[in-house]
Structure 1
Amino acid sequence: MTWSHIIHNTRSGTCIGCSPCGIAPEIAPENAPEIAPEIPTENIPNTYIAMISKMNPVTKPFLPLLLILLLGLMTSGCKAAELPAKTGKLGELDPPKQEFRGAWLTTVVNLDWPVSYDQPVGEQKADAIAMLDSLKDIGINAVLFQVRGESDAFYASAYDPWSHWLTGEQGRAPDPFYDPLSFMVREAHNRGMELHAWINPYRVERRKGMYPLAGSNISRREPGWILEFASRPGEYYTMLNPGMPEVRDYVTNVVVDIIRRYDVDGIHFDDYFYPYSPVTDEDSLTWLRHHSGIEDIEDWRRFNVNELVAQVHDSIQAIAPHVTFGISPFAIRKNSDVGTNAFEGYYRLYADGLAWLEQRTIDYINPQLYFELEHPRAPYAPLLEYWARVARENERHMYAGLAPYRIFPPNDWSLDQALDQLRLNIANGHVQGNIFFRTEHLIANPKGYTDVLRNELYRYPALTPSLPWKSQDRPLPVERISASWSDDGRVILTWARPDPARATIQPDARETYAEAARYAVYRLDMPPAEFAEMRTVMEQGGGSPTITGPAIYPQNMVDVTGQRQFVDRWSGDKTHAVYIVTAISHNSIESHAMSVWTWMDDDGFHYKVR
């Protein structure tokens, strides 16, 4: 995710410049190249996109604007965007009800968590809980937790040893014992957030010999499966050989093991396929043995990656079809796609995101769009438009990979630069969410960026997007819902998990019902006179008014939770509220609503369930 900043302008990989990395090279966790700006940041024109008025992001007045903007970029040698001045705040937008709001939680080199490999278990857990609480407060609804960064594991794996970055010794379990993946799944789900297991499929050692490998490491057990590359003078990068069918089976089995034993919501690969350092003839013998009839070795390398992606996808579909599978590739596939002039993932990493979309072997593409709007060789807007378009054409989702870490030195992006990228994502109309690299930087609120997310764009909770190609079954409504009042001024709602055997709404025998994965809670704050009228109807035996679709609009949503309880503190003068609870499937399909009408009068606290 974080890049080492070596620039290549052609397929041959000629080095044309460098820029410093936010992490010292000797500990940089992810060695993807960056394209260094040719002009200082302070000299970049301060240009912006027009503020979208308070309306749906795909509303027609802004689509022509976006098309004109992108057409101008792509027909002018990919020059920097000239954006009109802003006319308002992001808070004037209505946030969507469904949106992927993800954060990468990085474990390699102890970047996000744990703070060090010798941190006591109790402190590890406390820090993890604090991070999840902070992400929840920001509005994040999905955590991409790195569980396999170097053919190791942040969980009890039958295939890979415990991570060095967890305990300080690869292969040594936490003491006292706990399973971080199981812990994170439980805690994220309690907070109504999805937990995706992020794995690096091939990498074994970022830097060979950095720490001792366990005897159970795959490179010790199967040394013939390993490729080695010179990453810089005197340093080597090791990885599993993608051309070996045994390796594809091994990585697939790692994924299958995770989805069978852990209640994860997704599997996520990042940009590490073949290495960023140039590949020459390291795998030529493998090609001779396993060429599959492919005459060009570079085509064969892409075939290897595509085969793994397809095999993982098919295994997920067979075992846990509700689990999503997505990949976060380097932003530039080919320069010819949009007229960029930079490193190409297609030729250097042998990663072809377009093929995965066309073959529909992923559910979403998450390109790492870590470039400025005005970048001279890879401006943000045409890359965004390209990936949104090809995802849409192949009926898959696109989540933009964003880089709040670049708001910090040495990149020192302006706040406007980072917010303008969010504006472009919204204006596009076909970007279903964002994923932020990385958790520590997002929580740190660089230049107030996170405040804008929390207080404006993400001011209402959101469900993750429903995928039309997955199950559309809805859960049954929640059961046994009730409300109570505490002496310190809180309303406490509780309910039971839907169970067809005791459902108050008789299941339709013609339908199948999804499992309830989480719950959405809405609150309606009616004017006192309107509520009094409704209450009179109920007290006269007329029943409770029916809750309709508009009541469960996003602006009324107050929480998404995995627990069967919601606590709401009333202010001193508050006397009534209507709460609505829906059960949510793994695919964000909502059940029918159950409403609870609550009020306080001279006789005390009352509630009625509809």
Structure 2
Amino acid sequence: MTGAAGTVAGVVGAASVAGDAAARPGRARAALPGPAGERDVVRRELRGMWLATVANTDWPSRAGLSAAAQRDELAARLDEAVNRRLNAVFLQVRPSADALWPSPYEPWAACLTGTQGKDPGWDPLGTAVREAHDRGLELHAWFNPYRVANHTDPARLAASHPARRNPGWVVPYGGRLYYNPGLPEVRSFVQDAMLDAVRRYDVDAVHWDDYFYPYPVAGQDFADDAAYAEYGADFSDRAAWRRDNTDRLVRETADRLTALKPGVRFGISPFGVWRNAATDPAGSPTRAGVQTYDDLYADTRGWIRNGWIDYVVPQLYWHIGNPAADYAALVPWWSETVRGTGVDLFIGEALYKCGDPAQPEAWQDPAELSRHLDFAARYDQVRGHVYFSAKSVAADRIGAMDRLVADHYRSRARPPGGVR
């Protein structure tokens, strides 16, 4: 999640805008009636935190802890969410094409025992769902569709790993391994793997972050020539084909989720800039070095307009006044993007930047995030906020979370619920 904010500058050549046709019926609920600023009588807003497991970012604190110690740490993270008057936890359950549940498709996650494929002796996802619900928290199951490993050596994967059994599915890029989104069999497999968790557990939502095609790395090409030659003939260029591959994953997952468990929501947390206005008049008044449409082949605006998702959590990981991507410019843009679509808008907040000496001066002020919520409250389409990440919620390096809770979360709130 955090790597997106500092991605190298540079824009792939501009491509034509897709998705400007009238939105077709999809998963999204009907838009809530009422004038701007009107809130539910019973306050409903999402207050969430991401709980990252890749590389033991938030939990478990280290690989190889006993099952009891892992359970205790998980309970402490959930208790912290309750203490901060949050109401949702976004738990990363498929960090690197491996699983935090006994999956028939993929090996046990390495973050649990230190050895990918080794049974940890308990069911982390099943326990997390139960413990979260017991505390009145929603549990959003956070999946990464295509990332296989944060290295490029397939021999380091578990012997049973699908990426080892199907080496043609895998592309090394930027020091990592990825599944190739251009292969239909890959898209089908990752959907099967993710939806297995939905079938087994009472999760409240399926959640994806900003990683689809990888962030661009200078001087490197994503090696999908063979897939493009086989499947890309009907497209104007490779970029359009890649966007269609991502669209297919989103649309097919939405359709399958509806058929499997229609009450489970589907949400995505993309990088915060769809396109700059200089690239596309429909874009945001920003000068970001990355645009999801052009660089990640993710038409986030199109997914909203087509009603394929129930909520969107753009990662607006910039301070108010940032010259390239101003928080105060992006909140209105996203608010207008979701208006009338029925897609809920939650804002992804960079709590991890607060007090980081490497960040600009604005992030040294404990009131910066509280000002974000003050600003976002002007826009009736904003239905909540999600904080990256759980470790920062607990550590609260300069008291930014304390300040935010005191200013904005004096009482508890219920999350917006339901689909369609």
Question: In 2, are the aligned partners of 1:203 and 1:240 still within 8 Å (CA)?
Answer: yes
Displacement of 1:96 after TM fit? 6.3
Distance in 1 (alpha carbons) for counterparts of 2:415 and 2:13: 41
1:186 aligns with 2:130: yes
Displacement of 1:276 after TM fit? 0.9
1:265 paired residue among 179, 204, 211: 204
Displacement of 1:372 after TM fit? 1.1
**Alignment correspondent of 1:109:** 55
1:151 paired residue among 97, 108, 121: 97
**Alignment correspondent of 2:365:** 414
Residue aligned with 1:326, SS: strand
The one-letter code of the counterpart of 1:256 is L
Displacement of 1:359 after TM fit? 1.3
Once the two structures are superposed, the pairs formed by residues 14-25 of structure 1 within 5 Å of their partners are none
Distance in 2 (alpha carbons) for counterparts of 1:339 and 1:383: 8
**Alignment correspondent of 1:238:** 177
* Residues 15-41 of structure 1: per-residue CA shift (max 9 Å, x gap): xxxxxxxxxxxxxxxxxxxxxxxxxxx
* Residues 378-411 of structure 1: per-residue CA shift (max 9 Å, x gap): 1111111111211123221110000111103122
Question: In 1, are the aligned partners of 2:180 and 2:224 still within 8 Å (CA)?
Answer: yes
The structure with more radius of gyration: 1
1:214 aligns with 2:158: yes
Question: In 2, are the aligned partners of 1:328 and 1:401 still within 8 Å (CA)?
Answer: yes
1:2 aligns with 2:2: yes
1:125 aligns with 2:66: no
Distance in 2 (alpha carbons) for counterparts of 1:129 and 1:151: 25
Residue aligned with 2:402, SS: helix
1:321 paired residue among 262, 271, 274: 262
2:247 paired residue among 290, 293, 306: 306
Question: In 1, are the aligned partners of 2:352 and 2:389 still within 8 Å (CA)?
Answer: yes
Residue aligned with 1:267, SS: strand
Structure 1 gaps of 5+ residues are 14-55, 61-92, 471-610
Distance in 2 (alpha carbons) for counterparts of 1:220 and 1:94: 51
Question: In 2, are the aligned partners of 1:57 and 1:426 still within 8 Å (CA)?
Answer: no
1:203 paired residue among 144, 147, 161: 147
* Residues 387-441 of structure 1: per-residue CA shift (max 9 Å, x gap): 1211123221110000111103122431222221111111112100101000110
**Alignment correspondent of 2:348:** 401
Question: In 1, are the aligned partners of 2:370 and 2:404 still within 8 Å (CA)?
Answer: no
* Residues 272-322 of structure 1: per-residue CA shift (max 9 Å, x gap): 001113463611210111126213110010000010001110011001011
Residue aligned with 2:196, SS: helix
Distance in 2 (alpha carbons) for counterparts of 1:460 and 1:292: 56
Once the two structures are superposed, the pairs formed by residues 329-478 of structure 1 within 5 Å of their partners are 329-336=270-277, 337-342=283-288, 343-409=290-356, 410-411=358-359, 412-467=363-418, 469-470=419-420
Distance in 2 (alpha carbons) for counterparts of 1:225 and 1:384: 38
Question: In 2, are the aligned partners of 1:145 and 1:197 still within 8 Å (CA)?
Answer: yes
Q: Which has the higher contact order (CA 8 A, sep 6+)?
A: 2
Residue aligned with 1:298, SS: helix
* Residues 317-361 of structure 1: per-residue CA shift (max 9 Å, x gap): 001011000000000111121231122111111111111111111
Distance in 2 (alpha carbons) for counterparts of 1:443 and 1:276: 29
Distance in 2 (alpha carbons) for counterparts of 1:95 and 1:135: 24
Distance in 2 (alpha carbons) for counterparts of 1:211 and 1:242: 22
Question: In 1, are the aligned partners of 2:140 and 2:206 still within 8 Å (CA)?
Answer: yes
Question: In 2, are the aligned partners of 1:100 and 1:433 still within 8 Å (CA)?
Answer: yes
Question: In 2, are the aligned partners of 1:203 and 1:239 still within 8 Å (CA)?
Answer: yes
Displacement of 1:8 after TM fit? 0.5
Question: In 2, are the aligned partners of 1:139 and 1:453 still within 8 Å (CA)?
Answer: no
Displacement of 1:455 after TM fit? 3.2
Question: In 2, are the aligned partners of 1:95 and 1:458 still within 8 Å (CA)?
Answer: no
* Residues 197-234 of structure 1: per-residue CA shift (max 9 Å, x gap): 100000001222498210111210111111111x2xxx
TM-score by length of 1: 0.61
**Alignment correspondent of 2:24:** none
Displacement of 1:97 after TM fit? 1.2
Distance in 1 (alpha carbons) for counterparts of 2:301 and 2:194: 23
Displacement of 1:104 after TM fit? 0.2
**Number of residue equivalences:** 388
**Alignment correspondent of 2:23:** none
* Residues 467-513 of structure 1: per-residue CA shift (max 9 Å, x gap): 4x53xxxxxxxxxxxxxxxxxxxxxxxxxxxxxxxxxxxxxxxxxxx
* 4+ long deviations beyond 4 Å: 56-60, 93-96
Distance in 2 (alpha carbons) for counterparts of 1:326 and 1:318: 16
Distance in 2 (alpha carbons) for counterparts of 1:240 and 1:350: 15
For residues 168 and 211 of structure 1, do their structure 2 counterparts lie closer, same or farther at Cα, with a shift above 3 Å needed?
Answer: farther
Of stretches 253-262 and 99-108 in structure 1, the one that deviates more from structure 2 is 253-262
TM-score by length of 2: 0.88
Distance in 1 (alpha carbons) for counterparts of 2:238 and 2:411: 50
Distance in 2 (alpha carbons) for counterparts of 1:95 and 1:433: 16
Question: In 2, are the aligned partners of 1:57 and 1:427 still within 8 Å (CA)?
Answer: no
Distance in 2 (alpha carbons) for counterparts of 1:308 and 1:104: 23
Question: In 1, are the aligned partners of 2:370 and 2:408 still within 8 Å (CA)?
Answer: no
* Residues 504-534 of structure 1: per-residue CA shift (max 9 Å, x gap): xxxxxxxxxxxxxxxxxxxxxxxxxxxxxxx
Residue aligned with 1:8, SS: coil
Distance in 2 (alpha carbons) for counterparts of 1:432 and 1:392: 12
**Alignment correspondent of 1:100:** 46
Structure (1 or 2) with the greater strand fraction:
1
For residues 95 and 403 of structure 1, do their structure 2 counterparts lie closer, same or farther at Cα, with a shift above 3 Å needed?
Answer: farther
2:191 paired residue among 234, 252, 255: 252
Residue aligned with 1:101, SS: strand
Q: What root-mean-square deviation, in Å, do the aligned CA atoms of Structure 1 and Structure 2 show?
A: 2.2
* Residues 239-282 of structure 1: per-residue CA shift (max 9 Å, x gap): 11101110111111112211110110100000000111346361
* Residues 55-107 of structure 1: per-residue CA shift (max 9 Å, x gap): x99449xxxxxxxxxxxxxxxxxxxxxxxxxxxxxxxx999611111110000
1:296 aligns with 2:296: no
Residue aligned with 1:102, SS: strand
Distance in 2 (alpha carbons) for counterparts of 1:108 and 1:211: 19
The one-letter code of the counterpart of 2:216 is S
Distance in 1 (alpha carbons) for counterparts of 2:118 and 2:67: 13
**Alignment correspondent of 1:476:** none
